[in-house]
Amino acid sequence: MILKTKIKDLLLTMLIYFGFCQMGFAQNIDKNCFKTGADRPELYFPLLKNKTVALVTNQTGLLSDGTFLVDFLVKNSVKIQSIFAPEHGFRGDADAGEHVKNGVDVKTGIPIISLYGSNKKPTAAQVKGLDIIIFDIQDVGVRFYTYISTLTLVMEAAAENNVEVLVLDRPNPHDGYVDGPVLKPQWLSFVGMHPIPVVYGLTIGEYGKMVNGEKWLTKGIQAKYTLIPMQRYHKTQRYEISAQPSPNLPNSRAINLYPSLCFFEGTQVSVGRGTNLPFQIFGSPWTKNFPFTFTPKPSAGAKDPFLNGKLCYGRNLSETNTNLRMINLDWLLESYKNYKNPQQDFFLKNLFFDKLAGTDQLRKQIIAGKTSAEIKESWKSDLDAFQKIRAKYVIYAD
């Protein structure tokens, strides 16, 4: 009888724990239920034993207790030869597009090699002597955000030099939805390296699996690729990220708006760089019909912001419901219709807009006066085809 009672109590305790765990998971409260790849050292430490390692990481490479992965590995006697820094640098404080210099991590003395300076792909000399390159960066889940391009080039360098790539997975803040035009080959660039839509619905670990599996690396080579998956991660909800991925994506609202607003970076419209609301507002001196005004000024995350010192008229989206699961084209179309400047075209002369879109079709559709619904309908067949590719590499429930 006593034994039955103890078993019953034990089962009840387990049910309560896992019941509350699942409840907490849904509300993003109980952190014991969810772990990033970095928080699962029991899975990756055995792979690092007696190996020479490099890290591709930045300020987002954190464990749940706030410890930097670099410091954690050093403390546990992992032999780290170098740190590779992506766009925005190892500490994540460089402007978008700003040249990042090589250096040394003051705390550990480990050399820092920039992958956003003279070269974006590690050279053979930079990977010489390595056994494994660990990739641990919080991505944003949007094609023109360059961390996935850095991963691609790291994988390529690793494959060419017989070095393993070990990705510690992190959430996609845009969960599992897919939207936007699919990139066409003639618009390949560092802000779009593969035939994928703007929002592709994969974690960075799943993305690397897709790049490898589809043989998208140069000459179809494949890297020795190992993924440390997250624990109890689902794409049916969104997760608060532990550190801002770059200076101008300071919070979840900016990240949610980013796929819709980043198109403005190819136009004469500011997205709020140089204000306290980057990627939460937009405006231009030549869209005076809009009610909200702001003036970009130099700041820590935007040393020389676009339209610096000019009064801009636009919209403030910082207090609207922006938990989007779609790209909103209305703001872009509205701005184009309200743009009044005979001296400058709405789109930048360098047609960076087409690189962001991955095609010239979107720009032409806007000029032709197509509606949001008409434009989105034109994406459908390419999105359907991409979904078939994507499905092969999904490891977390949509």
Decide which of 215, 241, 267 is a domain's last residue: 241
Decide which of 218, 241, 264 is a domain's last residue: 241
> Domain of 42: which CATH number?
3.40.50.12170
Q: Does the pTM of the predicted model rise above 0.85?
A: yes
Residue range 34-62, pLDDT digits in tens: 999 999 999 999 999 999 999 999 999 99
Indicate whether 214 and 298 sit together in one domain: no
Indicate whether 232 and 320 sit together in one domain: no
Q: Is residue 381 part of a domain?
A: no
Rounded distance, CA 323 to CA 344, Å? 34
Indicate whether 178 and 325 sit together in one domain: no
Q: Is residue 283 part of a domain?
A: yes
pLDDT at 91: 60
Per-residue pLDDT, averaged over 108-124, amounts to: 92
Selected residue with higher pLDDT from 66 and 117: 66
Q: Is residue 383 part of a domain?
A: no
Indicate whether 84 and 224 sit together in one domain: yes
Per-residue pLDDT, averaged over 243-271, amounts to: 95
Q: Is residue 30 part of a domain?
A: no
pLDDT tier, 32 (very low <50, low <70, confident <90, very high otherwise)? low
Token pair recorded at residue 262: 């980043």
Is pLDDT above 60 for 22? no
pLDDT tier, 263 (very low <50, low <70, confident <90, very high otherwise)? very high
Indicate whether 87 and 149 sit together in one domain: yes
Closest CA to 36 of 61, 2, 5: 61
Q: Is residue 395 part of a domain?
A: no
- Domain extent at residue 339: 252-367
Token pair recorded at residue 4: 């039955």
Q: What residue spans of 28-164 are helical by DSSP H?
A: 41-48, 69-75, 124-127, 147-160
Q: Is residue 11 part of a domain?
A: no
Written as one letter, the residue type at 15 is L
pLDDT at 15: 33
pLDDT at 338: 98
Is pLDDT above 90 for 4? no
Per-residue pLDDT, averaged over 261-284, amounts to: 98
pLDDT tier, 162 (very low <50, low <70, confident <90, very high otherwise)? very high
Indicate whether 200 and 325 sit together in one domain: no
Rg (CA), the chain: 23
pLDDT tier, 24 (very low <50, low <70, confident <90, very high otherwise)? very low
Residue range 73-107, pLDDT digits in tens: 999 999 999 999 887 567 644 445 545 567 888 88
Strands 111-114 and 225-228: unpaired
pLDDT at 2: 40
What value does the mean pLDDT of the chain take? 89
Is pLDDT above 50 for 185? yes
Rounded distance, CA 312 to CA 160, Å? 48
Indicate whether 222 and 346 sit together in one domain: no
Indicate whether 226 and 270 sit together in one domain: no
Q: Is residue 392 part of a domain?
A: no
Indicate whether 55 and 179 sit together in one domain: yes
pLDDT at 103: 83
Indicate whether 235 and 347 sit together in one domain: no
Which are the contacts of 15, defined by CB distance < 8 A and separation ≥ 6? Answer: none
Decide which of 241, 262, 292 is a domain's last residue: 241
Indicate whether 172 and 232 sit together in one domain: yes
C-beta atoms surrounding 172 within 10 Å: 28
Highest average pLDDT, of 20-29, 96-105, 347-356, comes from 347-356
Domain count, the chain: 2
Helix, strand or coil, per DSSP, at residue 302: strand
Question: The sheet that has 132-136: what strands, in order across it?
Answer: 103-104, 111-114, 79-85, 52-57, 132-136, 164-168, 225-228
Indicate whether 43 and 141 sit together in one domain: yes
pLDDT at 87: 74
Is the CA virtual torsion 226, 231, 234, 240 positive or negative? negative
pLDDT at 33: 86
Q: Is residue 327 part of a domain?
A: yes
Is pLDDT above 60 for 335? yes
